Each structure stands twice: as C-alpha cells, then as structure tokens.
Amino acid sequence: GDSVTQMEGPVTLSEEAFLTINCTYTATGYPSLFWYVQYPGEGLQLLLKATKADDKGSNKGFEATYRKETTSFHLEKGSVQVSDSAVYFCALSDKNTDKLIFGTGTRLQVFP
C-alpha cells in the first residue's frame, strides 16, 4: 500500500542554518503531497502542499518540490529560526481514498 518515509529526528540546528528534512513516498497512483507542522501544544497545521509532479509548495520560507522521478518531497528552508522548532510531518493523499497517509514526523530543534 501507499506509504511515507521520513528521516529520523531530532534534527538540531543553530539559528540561520540551512534545513533539509527528507521525505520519500510509495504510491500506486499520483498522490498529492503535504507537509504538516505541529508546534508544542497545538494541532497539526498545513505548512505547504503540491498536487502534481514538479510543483513546488512554499510557505513561511519553507519549500518542497514534488519529484516524481525520485518519489521525494524534501522540505527545505534557507535560514531557520528558533520559532521553527516543531515536529514536521510529511503526508500524501490519493484521489481514490478519503485518508491522509503520514510519516512518523521529524522533530526540529533550533537553538539561538
């Protein structure tokens, strides 16, 4: 079945460092891809999405490009801030089903 694999955390960075969180997926069709973020004590919030190959989702300085050839949707940010500390979840959804399939989440810790 469809699945999502994320890099293990925690990822620990200094402020202004470059961030990459890897995400790869397995799907039989052509899913939509998402990054959700969970700040401490809050719900999962949509960070960005991409619906087809080569689409780039972006929001709050974060970017991810839908790469069909490598089945990847890696999250990047050029300069992280302490306020970016959170858990980041990669997910996919298929047009034929009513569910999101998530990865395990990657905790990001940014220190001043």
Partner 1 sequence: EPEVTQTPSHQVTQMGQEVILRCVPISNHLYFYWYRQILGQKVEFLVSFYNNEISEKSEIFDDQFSVERPDGSNFTLKIRSTKLEDSAMYFCASSEQGSSGANVLTFGAGSRLTVL
Q: Kindly state whether residue 106 participates in binding partner 1, applying the rule CB under 8 A.
A: no
According to CB under 8 A, which one of 56, 60, 68, 99 is a site residue for partner 1? 99
The region that residue 106 occupies, defined by phi over 0 for left and psi between -120 and 50 for alpha, beta otherwise, is beta
Backbone angles phi, psi at 17, to 5 degrees: -75, 165
* Cβ partners under 8 Å of residue 64, min gap 6: 23, 33, 35, 48, 50, 56, 57, 58, 73, 74, 75, 76
Q: Kindly state whether residue 108 participates in binding partner 1, applying the rule CB under 8 A.
A: no
According to CB under 8 A, which one of 93, 106, 108, 110 is a site residue for partner 1? 93
Give the interface size with partner 1 as a residue count (CB under 8 A): 26
Q: Kindly state whether residue 101 participates in binding partner 1, applying the rule CB under 8 A.
A: yes
- CA 34, CA 100: separation in Å to the nearest integer? 9
Region 8-67 residues binding partner 1, contact defined as CB under 8 A: 32, 36, 41-46, 49, 51
According to CB under 8 A, which one of 58, 76, 100, 109 is a site residue for partner 1? 100
Footprint of partner 1 (CB under 8 A): 4, 32, 36, 41-46, 49, 51, 89, 91, 93-105
